[in-house]
Structure 1
Amino acid sequence: MITPQDSSPTPQADSLAREIRALVGKLKRRLREQAAPGDLTPSQVSVLLRLEREGPATTSSLARLEGMRPQSMGAVIAPLEEAGLVSGTPDTKDGRQTILSLTQACRKWVEEGRAARQDWLTRTLQARLSPQEQDKLGEAIALLKRLVDD
C-alpha cells in the first residue's frame, strides 16, 4: 500500500518506472505484430475483447461500458458485423434491442491470434534467454505482479 510518506519517488524507483513503461509498451507492440489484427480500430478491438470477456450485450450497454454514445457505438459495431466478427439477435425481453455476440469465426480468429503471440514469445524466450535467465525472469514477473495485484 502506498502511504503519504512514500510520495516522493527515489531516483531508482523513478528510473525503474520509466523503464518498465517503455518496455511494456514495446512488448505490446511486438506481440501485436505477431498476429495481424487487420484494419480494426482500438475501439473495435476493445468491443470484441469485452464481448469475449463479458458475453453478449446490446449496443447501448456496450456504449455505456466504453464511455461513448450509442450512435458512436453503432459506427464501431457496423464494420464488425460486415466483417462477420459480430452478429446480432433480437432481444427476447425488448424487441427494440439487439443482442450482439461474437461469431464462431471471430472466436477462431481471436484464438489463432493469441496462439501466434504465445508461440512467438515462447520461441523468443527459449532462443534469447538461458534457463537461468528464464528463472530470473520468473522472479521478476512475481515482483511485477505485486505491483498490480490488490
Structure 2
Amino acid sequence: MDERANRPRIERTYALAAELRAILGKLKRKLREHGGRSDLTPSQVSVILRLEIDGPVTVSSLARAEGMRPQSMSAIVTSLLDVGLVSGSPDPNDARQTLMSLSRKCQKFLKEGRAARQDWLTTTIQEKLSVQEQEKLAAVLQLLARLVED
C-alpha cells in the first residue's frame, strides 16, 4: 500500500495517540487532586517511590539510581528527613554508611493517598458510567494493557 492510501489511517492513529495522552493527563491530575494535598517536589516524590520499590539504600545509591550528583540527592533526602518522611539507620554491612528508608509516617501517607484516589475513581466510575459502559471500559483497559506490554 502506498503512503497516500495509508495517510488517513496514520492521521487517525496520530489523533488517537494525542487524545489518549490528553485524557490520561487529565485523569492523572484528577487522581492527584483527590489523593490528598502534598507540597512535595517531583524530585522528593521520585525518591520516596524509589525507596518504596528498592527498600533501604544509601544516599549515594539513590543519587546513582536517579542520575544525579550525591550532593543534590543529599539535599533532597535532608528535606525529607526534616519533615519525617524518611529515616536513616546504620548499614549492617558497613557501619560508616547510612541506609535511608521510608518512615511509618510516609508509609501511612502513601497508603492513605492511594486509598483516597481509589475511592474517588471507584465512585466516579459508578456514578458516571452505566453497567454497559463499565463493561466497555474493561475492554478498553485490556487494550491499554497491551500497549504497555514489553
Q: Same fold (TM over 0.5)?
A: yes
Q: Distance in 2 between matches of 1:117 and 1:54?
A: 23
Distance 1:39 1:65, change over 3 A: same
Aligned equivalents of 1:66 and 1:106: distance in 2?
20
Corresponding position of 1:97:
97
Give how far 1:93 is off: 2.1
**Deviations along 1:52-108, whole A, 9 cap, x unmatched?**
111111100011000101100011111111111100011122232110001111101
The residue that corresponds to 2:13 in the other structure is 13
SS of 1:72 mapped into structure 2: helix
Output the CA distance in 1 between the equivalents of 2:82 and 2:98. 16
1:50 corresponding residue in structure 2: 50
- How far does residue 35 in structure 1 lie from its aligned partner after superposition? 1.8
Match of 1:113 in 2: 113
Q: How far is the alpha carbon of 1:38 from its aligned partner?
A: 1.9
Distance in 2, Cα, partners of 1:20 & 1:40: 27
Q: What is the root-mean-square deviation of aligned Cα atoms in Å? A: 1.2
Alpha-carbon distance in 2 for matches of 1:94, 1:134: 53
Partner of 2:23: 23
Following TM superposition, by how much is the alpha carbon of 1:37 offset from its aligned partner in structure 2, in angstroms? 4.0
Rg larger in structure: 2
C-alpha distance in 2 between matches for 1:15 and 1:38: 34
Q: Structure 1 residues 86-95 or 72-81, which shifts more?
A: 86-95
The alignment partner of 1:96 has SS state of strand
Give the 3-state SS of the residue equivalent to 2:96 in structure 1: coil
Distance 1:69 1:37 in 2: 29
In the other structure, the counterpart of 1:85 is 85
Return the alpha-carbon distance in structure 2 between the equivalents of residues 68 and 36 of structure 1.
28
Identity level (%): 59
> Could you tell me whether the CA contact under 8 Å between 2:90 and 2:98 is conserved in 1?
yes
CA distance in 1, matches of 2:37, 2:98: 26
Alignment correspondent of 1:4: none
Runs of 5+ unmatched residues, structure 1: 1-7
Distance 2:70 2:49 in 1: 18
How many residues are paired up?
Answer: 143
Aligned-partner SS, 2:39:
coil
TM-score (norm 2): 0.91
Q: Distance in 2 between matches of 1:112 and 1:61?
A: 28
